[in-house]
Amino acid sequence: MIEVKALTKKYGDRLAVDNISFTVNRGEILGFLGQNGAGKSTTMKILTCFMPATSGTASVAGFDVFESPYEVKKRIGYLPETPPIYLELLVSEYLDFVANLRKIPSSQKRKKIDAVVERCQLGDVRNRLIGNLSKGYRQRVGLAQALIHDPEVLILDEPTVGLDPKQVSEARGLIKSLRSERTVIYSTHILSEVAATCDRIIIIDQGKIVAQEAINLMGATGGTTKTEIVVQRSSDELTQALRSLKGVRNVQCLSNGRDRIVLETEASEEIMAEIARIAVAKNAGLIRMSPVHLALEDYYLNLISGKREVSI
Amino acid sequence: MRGATAIIKKELRSYFCSPIAYVVLGVFLFVMGAIFAKFVDLYQRYNVAHQFGQAQGITIDKLATYLYQNMAFILCFVTPFLTMRLFSEEKRQNTLELLFTAPMKEIEIVLGKFFSAYFLMLIMLAVSFIYVFFMVLWGNPQLKIIGATYFGLALALACYVSLGALISAMTSSQAIAAVWTFIALLFLWLLQSLGQGITAAWGPIQWGPTLVYISPLGHFSSFTEGLIHIKDVVYFISFTLFTIFLTHRVVESNRWR
């Protein structure tokens, strides 16, 4: 649905986006993750035809953003970082204005505005001045603006910044409800948000893509998983036995109160079963056995600080 | 052009939702009212003098010329307040992204902005018809001359507004846009006197007459005398079109700068 090839954008001498390539499939929610100033917004601005790239190509639904911007713009709904709203208009006037800009036929206008008001829960504030609305409502008005013409592709630039926790979860719910109908690119620097809503993430740092993976694979680096077991009585015999197990790459003993052993193994279920069997056979008193999920946060911080090894 | 009409509608709504349109209209009418009162006073005095066989040759048409030349000058002060927000406000509120990512051409944005301010100015002109009404009621002005004058005013306003829009597109501060628009209009207006002062020619160009020609004042004067010269019409229209073209360029450059 979206294809970006070798996209580069320079602001004067400063390289904002450096030769990035990625694709987004139809119906996918892609999280675009990076620090402030990493190049997320710039990439989005290029995709929405707001700004031309220095080099490289990008296409949306098969239309090139440089050659046929009109076709691209028709298919994209875009919510910039600051919602593009006019404080002096009523919510209804604003939506009417956007519907006209989007060239929605007047016969359908009413229906589409009603639908988007319902979807973004703007019914209560429909006849209020946008300038008098709270930040959360303004953000929703911005989202309504991006959805009004039923775009195939939705590009949201930090849609949950500045919302309170309840509004954040509502916004996430809204974005999730768009899954499968629409393709969504969604930028943020909040990790839990990505974990909660996206199918796939792209991590971008200093204009370069540093990682690009499906969300459930995150943390499983190089086919290695980590497992932690907690036992009552740790012994050298036990660690020796575990170490000699095929597929086990590293064994670490950590003692604080109880005996914890962390094993780095190949990612397979058989090894897990074998570890449990040995712990029981050595009569170590197995209390708990759990996979160590590499927190997305650690993963991310390690990535952007340039280290790929991960420690617990 | 649906995008342009949507912008015109929205802009006019914004003008009348905020105090700006009312304040500008009010001040304009107040100042024009004061000038008109002076006009009536002069007219009466000349009439009385005329009855006693003194002062002659002062007709109501002469006075109308005086009235409308003043009006054209006062509109120089009024225009910046209406054009200052056109683009600068969009930039400040970050709403240009909305316009640029909607499926329409930049020229629609520029034309929409231009015509919204221009319509408002035409509304102001329409309100000033009240002076024509009084003139007809108590005098006998030549309506053809007044018609030509209004035609000239409408053309001059188009060029004022286009200049204001251009300057507004260059900044994100309304105040700066207003000040520069005013300075630019005043400068154009004063070019007339400046040009008349220059008699020498440097190189092949007669600078004096050239400056006079660039100033809208001379072009407008002939309209107030009831003369519609093609060269004046062409001047105003080409000035406006060229400025709109420049505005388009400037607005477009906002995307890649």
Q: What is the 3-state secondary structure (H, E, C) of A86-125?
A: CCCCEHHHHHHHHHHHCCCCHHHHHHHHHHHHHHCCCHHH
Which CATH number is A232's domain given?
A: 3.30.70.260
How many residue pairs from chains A and B have C-beta atoms closer than 8 A? 72
Which of A177, A195, A217 delimits the end of a domain? A217
Q: Please give the residue of chain A at the shortest CA–CA distance from B253.
A: A51
Q: What percent of chain A has pLDDT over 70?
A: 88
Longest dimension (CA), chain A: 79
Residue B24 pLDDT exceeds 80:
yes
Beta-ladder partners of A254: A260
Which of A182, A198, A217 delimits the end of a domain? A217
Q: Report, as an integer, the average pLDDT of A46-65.
A: 88
A199 and A278, same structural domain?
Answer: no
Q: What is the predicted pLDDT for the residue at A301?
A: 67
| Burial (CB count <10 Å: 0-12, 13-18, 19+), residue A249 | exposed
Residue A198's contacts (CB-CB under 8 Å, 6 or more residues apart) are: A29, A30, A31, A186, A215
Contact B98 A84 (CB under 8 A): yes
Which bin fits B42, alpha (ψ -120 to 50), beta or left (φ > 0)? alpha
- Helix residue spans in chain A (DSSP H): 40-47, 69-75, 91-101, 106-119, 135-147, 165-177, 191-197, 236-243, 269-281, 296-304
* Average of per-residue pLDDT values in chain B: 88
Q: What is the predicted pLDDT for the residue at A303?
A: 67
A190 and A242, same structural domain?
Answer: no
Q: What is the predicted pLDDT for the residue at A311?
A: 41
Contact B101 A103 (CB under 8 A): no
Q: How far is CA B102 from CA A227, A307, B121, B222, in A?
A: 52, 42, 28, 44
Which CATH number is A118's domain given?
A: 3.40.50.300
| Burial (CB count <10 Å: 0-12, 13-18, 19+), residue A104 | buried
A188 and A277, same structural domain?
Answer: no
A229 and A182, same structural domain?
Answer: no
A28 and A156, same structural domain?
Answer: yes
Give me Rg for the CA atoms of chain B. 20
E strand or H helix at B151, and its extent? Answer: helix B143-169
The first and second tokens of residue A97, run together, are 């204005």
Chain B contacts in chain A segment 72-111 (CB below 8 A) = 73-74, 76, 78, 80-82, 84-89, 93, 97-98, 100-103
A191 and A73, same structural domain?
Answer: yes
Range of the domain at A264: 221-292
- Collapsing DSSP to helix, strand or coil, A266 comes out as strand
Q: What is the predicted pLDDT for the residue at B157?
A: 94
Residue A71 in domain: yes
The first and second tokens of residue A76, run together, are 């994209």
Which of A189, A217, A245 delimits the end of a domain? A217
Contacts of B2 in chain A (CB under 8 A): 100, 103
A233 and A87, same structural domain?
Answer: no
Identity at B154, one-letter amino acid code: A
Q: Please give the residue of chain B at the shortest CA–CA distance from A84.
A: B95
Residue A110 in domain: yes
Whether A15 and chain B come into contact, CB under 8 Å, resolves to no
Which of the four pLDDT bands, split at 50, 70 and 90, describes residue B11? very high
Contact B103 A73 (CB under 8 A): yes
User: Does B56 or B143 have the greater pLDDT score?
Assistant: B143
Q: What is the predicted pLDDT for the residue at B182?
A: 94
What's the DSSP call for residue A6? E
Specify whether the CB–CB gap between A302 and A309 falls below 8 A: yes
Residue A62's contacts (CB-CB under 8 Å, 6 or more residues apart) are: none
Which of the four pLDDT bands, split at 50, 70 and 90, describes residue A294? low
Which of the four pLDDT bands, split at 50, 70 and 90, describes residue A215? low
Whether A195 and chain B come into contact, CB under 8 Å, resolves to no
Among B7, B172, B4, CA closest to A89? B7
The number of angstroms, rounded, from the C-alpha of A176 to the middle of its chain's C-alpha atoms is 12
Residue A299 in domain: no
Q: Please give the residue of chain B at the shortest CA–CA distance from A145.
A: B98
- Collapsing DSSP to helix, strand or coil, A175 comes out as helix
Q: For residues A93 and A84, what is the distance between their CA atoms, to the nearest angstrom?
A: 14
Q: What are phi and psi of B229, to 5 degrees?
A: -90, 140
User: Does B97 or A259 have the greater pLDDT score?
Assistant: B97
Q: Model confidence over B186-244: pLDDT tens digits?
A: 999 888 888 887 777 677 777 788 888 888 888 888 898 888 999 999 999 999 999 99
What total number of domains does chain A contain?
2
Q: For residues A56 and A5, what is the distance between their CA atoms, to the nearest angstrom?
A: 6
Specify whether the CB–CB gap between B152 and B223 falls below 8 A: yes
Q: Report, as an integer, the average pLDDT of B132-141.
A: 85
Q: Model confidence over B156-195: pLDDT tens digits?
A: 999 999 999 999 999 989 999 999 999 999 999 888 888 8
Whether A50 and chain B come into contact, CB under 8 Å, resolves to yes
Among A263, A222, A90, A45, CA closest to B100? A45
Q: Give the predicted TM-score (pTM) of the model.
A: 0.81
Residue A59 in domain: yes
Q: How far is CA B93 from CA A88, A94, A184, B155, B201, in A?
A: 11, 14, 25, 31, 49
Specify whether the CB–CB gap between B75 and B230 falls below 8 A: no
CA contacts within 13 A on the Cβ side of B22 = 6
Location of structure tokens 């504030």: A125
A135 and A170, same structural domain?
Answer: yes
Q: How far is CA A219 from CA A87, A247, A299, in A?
A: 44, 19, 6
Q: What's the complex ipTM? A: 0.85
Specify whether the CB–CB gap between A104 and A112 falls below 8 A: yes
Q: What is the predicted pLDDT for the residue at B51?
A: 75
Contacts of A93 in chain B (CB under 8 A): 10, 13
Among B171, B166, B207, CA closest to B185? B166
Whether A248 and chain B come into contact, CB under 8 Å, resolves to no
Mean pLDDT is lowest, of A6-15, B75-84, B228-237, for A6-15
Q: What is the predicted pLDDT for the residue at A249?
A: 78
Residue A167 in domain: yes
Q: For residues A47 and A53, what is the distance between their CA atoms, to the nearest angstrom?
A: 9
Q: Model confidence over A58-91: pLDDT tens digits?
A: 988 888 888 888 889 999 999 998 899 998 899 9
User: Does A248 or A294 have the greater pLDDT score?
Assistant: A248
A157 and A13, same structural domain?
Answer: yes
Residue A297 in domain: no
Most confident of A147-151, A250-254, B61-65, B238-242: B238-242
A209 and A256, same structural domain?
Answer: no
Residue A41 in domain: yes
Contacts of A51 in chain B (CB under 8 A): 255-256
* Residues A255-261: contacts with CB under 8 Å, at least 24 apart: A258/A230, A258/A231, A258/A232, A258/A287, A259/A230, A259/A231, A259/A232, A259/A233, A259/A234, A260/A228, A260/A229, A260/A230, A261/A228, A261/A229, A261/A230, A261/A231, A261/A234
A131 and A91, same structural domain?
Answer: yes
Which of the four pLDDT bands, split at 50, 70 and 90, describes residue A305? low
A268 and A156, same structural domain?
Answer: no
Contact A84 B9 (CB under 8 A): no
Interface of B with A (CB under 8 A): 2-3, 5-7, 9-10, 13-14, 17-18, 93-104, 255-256
Q: What is the predicted pLDDT for the residue at A239?
A: 81
Q: Please give the residue of chain A at the shortest CA–CA distance from B3.
A: A101
Residue A305 in domain: no
